[in-house]
Structure 1
Amino acid sequence: MVGKLQNGDRLRPIDLARGHGLSTQAVRNYEEAGILPAAGRTAHGYRTYTSLHARALGAFLALLPGHGHRSAASIMRAVNRGAAGEAYRLIDESHAQLLDDRRTLWAVESALRDLAHAEVPVPSAVASRPGGTFVGPLAAELGIRPATLRKWERAGLVRPRRDPLTGYRVYGEADVRDARLAHQLRRGGYLLEQIASVIAQVRDAGGPEPLEATLRDWHDRVSARGRAMLSGAAELEAYLRERG
C-alpha cells in the first residue's frame, strides 16, 4: 500500500490498519504511544493518516522481530521527535546485545566441546567415596579453591549431596560435569547468573549431548534476529527518507 500513496493522500484509521493486518485500536494506540506521528484531523475531528504514517507503521513492525517491542517503540519515538542520534544509539545497543548473545553461544559450544574431551581423573581412595568426589580433589582438578566451589553451590551452579556420616559435600558425575562447565565459562568471563542459565539448560536437556538440539535452535534464533535487524533497518531508512 505504501508504494501507491502520495504524500497528499489521506487514509482513514481502518485503511492504515487493514494495510498492515492490525485493528484500528492498535493504530490509535501506536499513535498515542508516539510510535506514529500525530494524525491529522478532519473538520469533524476524525483522524486522518498519510503515506508517512504508513511508512512509520511499516518501519515499527519491521523493527519488532529484531529489536523487541520496547526498543522498537523507543527507536520510533526518538525518530518522531527528531532525535535521530538517540534512535541510532538504541539500534547500536540492540546490535551489541545480539553480538553478546552470539559470543555467549560460541562460549557455550566451546565449553561443551572441552567438556566432552576432558579426561575424568580417578579419585584417590582417601579423598573419595563410591559414587562421588569430595570438594578438595575436585577443586584441585579444576585449579580453583574449595571456597570457589562452595560459592558456585550457593549460586546454584553445582548441587552436591551430603555424606550422611560425615556431612561432607560429595560431588557426583553430574556435579563434576556442571563444575567443569562452570569453570570453562568463568574463564571466558561470564557472570554466575549467565552460567546458571546455561547449566539449567544442560540439566533440563539431560546432559551436553541432548543440548545440541537446543544449541541449533539458539543458532537459528540468533541468525533470524540478525536478519530481522537488516530488514528493520531498511524499513526505517525508507521512513527517514520520507520524513526528509
Structure 2
Amino acid sequence: MLRTAQVSTASGYSVQQVRDLERLGVIPPAVRGANDYRSYSSLHVRALAAYRGVAAAIGPVEARRLLVRIWTMDLEEAAAEVGAVHLRLATERGRLLQARDALQAIRADTESSGSDDAMTITELSRALGVRSSALRFWEREGLVAPRRMTSLQIRLYDPASIRALRIVAALRGAGYRIPAVRDILASLDGAEAGEATARVLQQRLDALAQRTLALIEAGADLARVLRSLRSA
C-alpha cells in the first residue's frame, strides 16, 4: 500500500492534487484505515497517469468528466467512451486536412487564373461553397468589407476580399472560431496570407498529433485500471 506522499512522488502530482482528484472521483477512492488515513496502490498511480494523458488530449476539465464516468461503467461502455474520444480527434484531423487541401487548391487557382475580376455575393457564395448568409455574417464580424455598388447597395468583392474569404472559409472549415480567424487575418499580409495560413494549419495538425499520442499512451493505463476495478 502507498501513502499519499508516495503516490505524489510517483505520479508527479502534488499531495493536495492527489487528494483533490480522489475527492472529485477522477481516480478511484483510496482505502481508509481505522485511523482514517488514506492507503493507495499502484492502481491509483496508473489512474493518475491515465488522467494526465487524457487531459493532454482533450483538456483537464473534459478529462475529469470522462474519468469520473468511466470508472463506474462496464468495460463495453467505458471502451466506447474512450473510442468516442479517438473518433473526435480523428474527425478534427479530417477537418484540418480538408482545410489544408482547400488552401492548396485556392493557391493553385489563384496562381493559374491571375484574374482581377470582382464577384457578387451570389457568385462568391457558389465559388466558395458556402451560403450567402455566411458571407454576410463574416462581413458583420469585420472579416471583410466588400464594396457597395449603386443605389441598390449590391455587394461586390474585389480580388483581395475574395482571397481573404477563401482563407476564412478554409479556417472555419477547420473548426477555427471567429475571434481566432480575425486574429489570423490581422497577422497576414497580402501574398503571404496563404503561406501563413498553411503554417497555422500545420501547427494545429502537429499539436493534434501530440494530443493523439498522449491519448494512445493513456490507453494502456486506462485499460489496466478498468480491468482491475472490474475484477476487484
Structure 2 length as normaliser, TM-score?
0.77
Matched, 1:103 2:97: no
Corresponding pairs, count: 219
Please identify the structure whose Cα radius of gyration is greater: 1
Alpha-carbon separation, structure 2, partners of 1:56 and 1:214: 34
**Unpaired stretches in structure 2, ≥5 consecutive residues:** none
Partner of 2:144: 159
The Cα of 1:16 is off from its aligned counterpart by 1.0
* Alignment map for 1:70-149 (pairs within 5 Å): 70-118=61-109, 119-123=113-117, 133=118, 135=120, 139-140=122-123, 143=126, 148-149=131-132
Structure 1 vs Structure 2 CA RMSD: 3.3
Determine if contact 2:103/2:198 at 8 Å carries over to the other structure: no
Q: Deviations over 1:122-150 (max 9, x none)?
A: 43xxxxxxxxx352xx63366469x9435
Alpha-carbon separation, structure 2, partners of 1:161 and 1:75: 45
Change (3 A) 1:154 1:74: closer
Change (3 A) 1:141 1:15: closer
Alpha-carbon separation, structure 2, partners of 1:195 and 1:153: 16
Partner letter of residue 19 of structure 2? R
Q: Deviations over 1:8-59 (max 9, x none)?
A: xx22212111221222111111111111222122222222212222222222
Matched, 1:26 2:17: yes
Structure number with higher relative contact order (C-alpha < 8 Å, ≥ 6 residues apart): 2
Q: Deviations over 1:65-106 (max 9, x none)?
A: 123323432332234224333322321221121111111111
The Cα of 1:164 is off from its aligned counterpart by 8.6
Alpha-carbon separation, structure 2, partners of 1:50 and 1:228: 23
**Unpaired stretches in structure 1, ≥5 consecutive residues:** 1-9, 124-132
Residue 195 of structure 2: SS of its match in structure 1?
coil
